[in-house]
């Protein structure tokens, strides 16, 4: 009987806590825009890396973007319309390694919103094929004074069909 009372007390307490004190996700996600498109060989096009952090203010992010060097060539990286105002490391790219890197911060009170541009990359399509770009090792840090990584979900990719 004692075990039954303890179990029912536990279930009641758990129900009460979850019903009246919901757990908030407090997470950020990142994505490419556009996430897919068709371009012609030789064409220069732009792709932006966006952050969404609607539950909790973020104040820093970094990451490394990878691209296939046989199909794509980065022409430039722009921080002009970025939500980040201070750069821990200036955005850089290497066409020989197929990488583009960024690391920046947002001034207090941080960024809260559904679609903040972190970086925009201008890319040249080199030859016909299907090219996928990905993000590896990215972080989105909360404006909590602790540097809590609030990035959740799968890291994004974008696919470009080159004709």
Residue 79: how many other CB atoms lie within 10 Å:
17
> In the predicted model, is pLDDT for residue 127 greater than 60?
yes
Q: How far apart are CA 62 and CA 86, in angstroms?
A: 12
Task: Give the residue from 85, 90, 89 showing the smallest Cα distance to 108.
Answer: 85
Residue found under tokens 């897919």: 36
> In the predicted model, is pLDDT for residue 24 greater than 50?
no
**Per-residue model confidence (pLDDT) at position 70:** 98
> In the predicted model, is pLDDT for residue 6 greater than 70?
no
In our burial notation (b when 16+ CB lie closer than 10 A, e otherwise), range 108-135 reads eebbbeeebbbbbbebbbbeeeebebeb
Under the banding of pLDDT at 50, 70 and 90, the label for residue 141 is very high
């Amino acid at each position: 009987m004692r075990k039954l009372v303890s179990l029912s007390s536990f279930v009641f307490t758990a129900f009460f806590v979850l019903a009246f004190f919901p757990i908030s996700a407090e997470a950020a996600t990142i994505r490419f825009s556009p996430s897919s498109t068709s371009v012609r060989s030789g064409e220069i096009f732009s792709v932006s890396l966006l952050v969404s952090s609607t539950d909790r203010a973020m104040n820093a992010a970094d990451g490394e973007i990878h691209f296939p060097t046989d199909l794509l060539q980065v022409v430039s990286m722009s921080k002009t319309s970025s939500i980040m105002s201070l750069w821990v490391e200036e955005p850089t790219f290497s066409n020989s390694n197929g990488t583009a890197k960024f690391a920046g911060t947002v001034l207090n009170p941080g960024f809260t919103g559904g679609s903040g541009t972190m970086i925009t990359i201008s890319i040249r399509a080199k030859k016909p094929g299907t090219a996928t770009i990905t993000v590896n090792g990215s972080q989105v840090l909360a404006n909590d004074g602790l540097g809590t990584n609030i990035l959740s979900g799968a890291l994004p990719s974008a696919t470009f069909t080159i004709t």
